[in-house]
Amino acid sequence: MTRRSLTHADRALLREATLANMNWNTTRFTFDDLDAADAIAHYYTGFPAEGDFGLVDSDGDIARAVGWVVFLPEDDPGYGYVDADTPELSLTTFQGFRGQGIGRDLLSELIGLASARGLPGISLSVEDGNGARRLYERAGFRVVGRNGDSDTMLLSLV
């Protein structure tokens, strides 16, 4: 098992992870749906922009989990947008690797990287019923807003 930093060459992986996140409970979206929706596609099309970072956990050529943090502007916010100084986290543990602590460990490492960079916090969006909410709550994320059937959560690092 290895863990490495994400680069622009990983955009296809981030696209795949975004699709997995959007379809966490059932197949609702296709790649075409994601690509056609700027509010979703901006999570992977511009990665990495200034300040963005992320990690992939893999076993050989197989990505087990991926987590990345992106800064989105006020005029193009993400679903978990708090403010322009607070980046938004996306985290995916792929099917077949869930429940093994991989996502938890990756989240912990990303939080450490964000803290070392002096970021004020990290935000995210989690839909009602998504079991990942417990992971985020255990890591210290707290609900700070609501967007449709999702909560915006924030982990304060200061």
Query: 130-133: which pairs have CB atoms within 8 A and are 24 or more residues apart?
Result: 130/24, 130/25, 132/24, 132/91, 132/103
pLDDT tens per residue across span 19-37: 999 999 999 999 999 999 9
Cα distance between residue 158 and residue 146, in whole Å: 23
57 band by pLDDT with thresholds 50, 70 and 90 = very high
How do residues 62-113 score in pLDDT, each as one tens digit? 999 999 999 999 999 999 999 999 999 999 999 999 999 999 999 999 999 9
Cβ proximity of 34 and 18 under 8 Å: yes
What contacts 56, CB < 8 A, 6 or more positions away?
3, 4, 6, 10, 13, 63, 65, 66
Alpha-carbon distance 56 to 59, whole Å? 10
d(CA 113, CA 117): 6
What's this model's pTM, rounded to 2 decimal places?
A: 0.94
CATH topology classification for 2-156: Aminopeptidase (3.40.630)
Tell me the domain boundaries of the chain: 2-156
